[in-house]
Chain A
């Protein structure tokens, strides 16, 4: 299967700081998504971004499919950004959809 590596595994930020989370994957993909799992366990879809750049408020994401990586940018972080950020990749087959192990973010007030 496709290997998905996320870095860093853990990140502690002071409120207001910016951060970049990285997702590397081992093969070509047609589907790449970023999720945020909040401290209550809820999984929220942030971006569907198999290529290119998207922005949503303080969050933006860029995927360079040819180089097999994606970046998630968080600007002016807030305590509500805390949680685990997952990158997930796959092709046209839904049974071949692979989640990374996540980046655990803790934003301190």
Chain B
């Protein structure tokens, strides 16, 4: 298995632009997570899905952030409009269930200027 695949690896965008991050989980993993990592706040859970259904989005910072999972093999995290404070590394992770470890993707480093 190729693992959890994220794209792009790096994204530089101007403030106000729309940004879309993409994730392909491991086949057969029923849970998908979006995390954000910053020096100040560490790793924060933004949202997670179970069988393509969003279960908890309480970590999404504000309405500018939205996430979708149209099928079992694809998820997106969208920021519109982006702001400099959104600059961070965004990770996607997946797991088969409660009693298994997480597999993280390589992350997307987002810079908003």
Contacts and interface: CB of A to CB of B under 8 A. Distances in A.
Given A41-B89, A95-B58, A47 B98 contact: no
Interface residues of A, number: 21
Contacts of A88: 43
Given A41-B107, A43-B104, A45-B103, A30 B98 contact: yes
Interface in A32-52: 33, 35, 41-45, 47-48, 50
Interface of A, secondary structure class, is strand
Nearest to A50: B99
21 contacts: A30-B98, A33-B101, A33-B102, A41-B106, A41-B107, A42-B106, A43-B104, A43-B107, A44-B104, A48-B101, A88-B43, A92-B98, A94-B31, A94-B56, A94-B98, A95-B45, A95-B56, A95-B58, A95-B59, A99-B42, A102-B42
- Top-9 shortest CB links A-B: A48-B101, A43-B104, A95-B56, A45-B101, A99-B43, A33-B101, A94-B48, A42-B106, A92-B98
Contacts of A44: 104
Contacts of B48: 94-95
A43 B91 contact: yes
A73 interface: no
Interface of A: 30-31, 33, 35, 41-45, 47-48, 50, 86, 88, 92, 94-95, 97, 99, 101-102
Nearest to B44: A99
Nearest to B50: A94
Interface in B28-84: 31, 33, 42-43, 45, 48, 55-56, 58-59
